[in-house]
Amino acid sequence: MIKKSIFWESAVLIVWFMMTGAGASQEQSKQQLELAPERDISLTVHIRGVFESKISLLPLTGGKALQAVAELTRVVPGDTAIMTIPRENLPGDFVLRFDYKEQQSSTPYPSEKRIVIGSQDLELRAHPMFCNNPDSTRFQQEELENATLAEFMKENSQRKEMLGLLQQFLLYYDDPGSDFYGEGIREYEKRRIAHNKWVETERKKYNKLFVSSRFPFQSLPVISWEESEAERRQSLMDHYFDEVDFNDPLLTRTNEFTEWMNNYVNIYGELATTVALRDSLFVLAGRRSIEQARNGHPLVYGWMVDYFYRGYESTDIPVGIAMLEPYLDDPNCLTTKRQAILKRLEGMETLVPGFPAPDFSYAELSGGQGSFHDYHTEKPYKLVIFWSADCPHCMEMVSGLYPWYLEGDHRNLLDIFALSLDDTEEGIKAWRKTVADMPGWIHILTEGGVNSAEADLYFVLATPVMVLVDAQTHTIVDQPATLDQLVQSIRK
């Protein structure tokens, strides 16, 4: 018999009677859309109590979750260390990680602090060894997001303490038919309603802060104490989304949304007695969740599909992935992949003749390093190529371009930056074998393939891609699709 059902790595096993709901009005949703900052935000960090520390900032949500978006390799006490957080990652939940050395000879040791960043520049003073101790970590006096969240959670915990005791009583009292038990139910319901009204009041009071979007997750759902445990569980499944406003796009930026969905999925998993039944229940949970979200904001709809896709993929449930196909094909479903495509399609409009070519740093196969703009040459052009050794169209292009490059005076016309988007073991092996016979080009293996930073800069959706750049001005000359078009562009 299956005792636990963890939908994926970060899932939390459900204690069903302690579940929370979420809710937000359409008015709140409109206000929250205004919370995204119009600029990058700075985070100034001062440390003490250690010899030195590396500091990294990792978002907890989004396409770059748990990947550093800002990093300082060495900070020592007395430094004024400033990190710049790109506005596209904001507002959001983050982990501030310290890899500190207590002494010069010490091995780096990690510590982490959860923080919220909205539209306000922050200044933080921290002792990395005790970074979660309020006495050792503090923001500037006028900081709003983290201070408001801490105060809310403190009071929320105090208010829920008596509710928790009442829950324990109602769960384990041996005479549920007695008047005394009935009085306990009425007292619990009175306090539950009062608690939810307080949560709503706090949400409205702080609706101009990002953290208010997570307050409703602390609301308490109706529990039918008169019913059996199985009936209570079914009721919770049926009404889990009653208080959720899926029109609120900022739900997707809170880590609580993920935890809340983990709990929902594991209600279903708790019912499983076999692996086959578990898979069937997880698919049912996915379908019900997505149907609830599909009428909401496209970002929330897409987030929900992404959530279940990752879950089905990590737990090897192909029937679940098959269930998702109609949603993945829905143009109103802004999954991470669809957002990336739309972003790149929009960005392509800036990659036109006369516009600056994006700069990028590189480490070439031969060992050289540098940046595209800092690479100086007397030749009139630089050619950027995005290709893959396991792409037939790419190989066809390269097999024609390289012999042309070797002919006559062509090598004096342009330097070629060949950026490989191979990201599999087989593809990289084929790339190394191919470029060994292509000296003279600057061969670069990107990290992440089509999702690499370089591909993102040039809005690459598929390979091959060529961008001809004026070597002196770094402006785009043309984007030839074929060797013939490249030759024509050079001859103009």
Average pLDDT, the chain: 87
Are 29 and 44 in the same domain? no
pLDDT value at 226 more than 50: yes
Are 180 and 320 in the same domain? yes
Single out the residue of 191, 202, 302, 200 nearest to residue 246, CA to CA: 302
pLDDT given at position 278: 92
Are 112 and 73 in the same domain? yes
Report the b/e string of 460-478 with b at 16+ CB within 10 A.
beebbbbbbbebeebebbb
Which of 284, 308, 339 marks a domain boundary? 339
The string of DSSP codes covering 299-327 is HHHHHHHHHHHHHHHHTT-HHHHHHHHHH
The better pLDDT of the pair 168, 448 is held by 168
Q: Is 258 within a domain?
A: yes
Q: Is 7 within a domain?
A: no
**20-134-115-289 Cα dihedral, nearest 10 degrees:** -10
pLDDT value at 102 more than 70: yes
The better pLDDT of the pair 31, 390 is held by 390
pLDDT in tens, 296-338: 999 999 999 999 999 998 888 999 999 999 999 898 999 887 8
Bridge partners of 41?
Answer: 85
Which of 143, 178, 193 marks a domain boundary? 143
- 319 vs 284: CA distance, rounded Å: 11
Are 326 and 196 in the same domain? yes
Are 308 and 322 in the same domain? yes
pLDDT given at position 50: 95
pLDDT given at position 398: 93
pLDDT value at 1 more than 60: no
- 392 vs 410: CA distance, rounded Å: 25
Q: 351 phi and psi, to 5 degrees?
A: -95, 70
Q: Is 4 within a domain?
A: no
pLDDT given at position 97: 96
pLDDT given at position 456: 86
pTM across the whole model: 0.66
pLDDT given at position 224: 84
Q: Which two tokens stand for residue 403?
A: 């012999």
* Vertex 289: Cα angle to 310 and 189 (nearest 5): 125
The string of DSSP codes covering 287-302 is HHHHHHHTTS-HHHHH
pLDDT value at 363 more than 90: no
Q: How many domains does the chain have?
A: 3
pLDDT (mean) for 456-481: 91
Are 171 and 310 in the same domain? yes
pLDDT given at position 34: 53
pLDDT (mean) for 119-141: 92
pLDDT given at position 23: 34
Single out the residue of 269, 334, 255, 332 nearest to residue 299, CA to CA: 334
Q: Is 3 within a domain?
A: no
pLDDT given at position 225: 86
Q: Is 160 within a domain?
A: no
Question: Above pLDDT 70, what percent of the chain?
Answer: 92
Are 365 and 326 in the same domain? no
pLDDT (mean) for 54-63: 90
* Vertex 459: Cα angle to 258 and 58 (nearest 5): 35
* Vertex 478: Cα angle to 477 and 484 (nearest 5): 125
pLDDT tier at 7 (50, 70, 90 boundaries)?
Answer: low
Which of 311, 339, 367 marks a domain boundary? 339
Are 130 and 191 in the same domain? no
pLDDT value at 32 more than 50: no
pLDDT tier at 435 (50, 70, 90 boundaries)?
Answer: very high
Question: What's the domain range around 95?
Answer: 36-143
Are 355 and 403 in the same domain? yes
pLDDT given at position 475: 95
pLDDT given at position 245: 82
pLDDT (mean) for 164-171: 91
Are 206 and 306 in the same domain? yes
Radius of gyration of the chain (CA): 28
The better pLDDT of the pair 34, 158 is held by 158
Q: Is 234 within a domain?
A: yes
pLDDT in tens, 198-213: 999 999 999 999 999 8
Q: Is 151 within a domain?
A: no
Are 180 and 322 in the same domain? yes
User: What separation in angstroms does the CA of 76 have from each of 7, 68, 103?
Assistant: 41, 20, 11
Q: Which of 1-15, 54-68, 401-415, 447-461 has the lowest mean pLDDT?
A: 1-15
pLDDT given at position 29: 39
The string of DSSP codes covering 3-21 is ----SSTT-----GGG--B
Q: Is 149 within a domain?
A: no
User: What separation in angstroms does the CA of 122 have from each of 69, 94, 143, 310, 397?
Assistant: 16, 13, 7, 33, 50
Sign of CA dihedral 431, 432, 433, 436: positive
Give the amino acid at 9: E
- Whether 454 contacts 387, CB under 8 Å: no
pLDDT given at position 35: 66
Are 182 and 266 in the same domain? yes
